[in-house]
Amino acid sequence: MRILYFAWLRERIGKSSEELEPPPGVDTPRALINWLRARGPGYAEAFSDEKPVRCAIDQEFQPLDAPLGTPKEIGFFPPVTGG
């Protein structure tokens, strides 16, 4: 699946998106965060605190404990600040 990072998550991880296949058992965005955190220090720093992390599954806002399903894309980002 395609994973996208925005704002300071993008900056800390050092990329705006990547294609990854998380292992079976990664069934929520929160589980995906735990799995990503082990991929390197940038990820660990970006996801050190989950509280300010929001996500969208296939471009719809979802809670971190929503079922992940088999999305085409998932985005991680801080709370939005538009307008």
Partner 1 sequence: MRLVAVQEQDFDAGALLARLNSAGTGGMASFTGIVRQLPGGGLRALRLEHYPGMTEKALERLADEAEARWELTGCVIIHRVGRLEPGQNIVFAAASSAHRGDALAATAYLIDQLKTRAPFWKAEEMESGATHWVEAREADDEATAAWSETANATNLPRGQGRL
Residues that bind partner 1 (CB under 8 A): 4, 6-8, 10, 56, 59-61, 75, 77-83
The amino acid that residue 38 corresponds to is A
Q: Is the dihedral of CA 17, 69, 53, 48 positive or negative?
A: negative
Q: Cβ closer to partner 1: 36 or 75?
A: 75
> What is the nearest approach in angstroms of partner 1 to the Cβ of residue 42?
16
Task: Identify whether the C-beta of residue 9 lies closer than 8 Å to the C-beta of residue 78.
Answer: yes
The amino acid that residue 34 corresponds to is N
Q: Cβ closer to partner 1: 23 or 49?
A: 49
> What is the nearest approach in angstroms of partner 1 to the Cβ of residue 77?
7
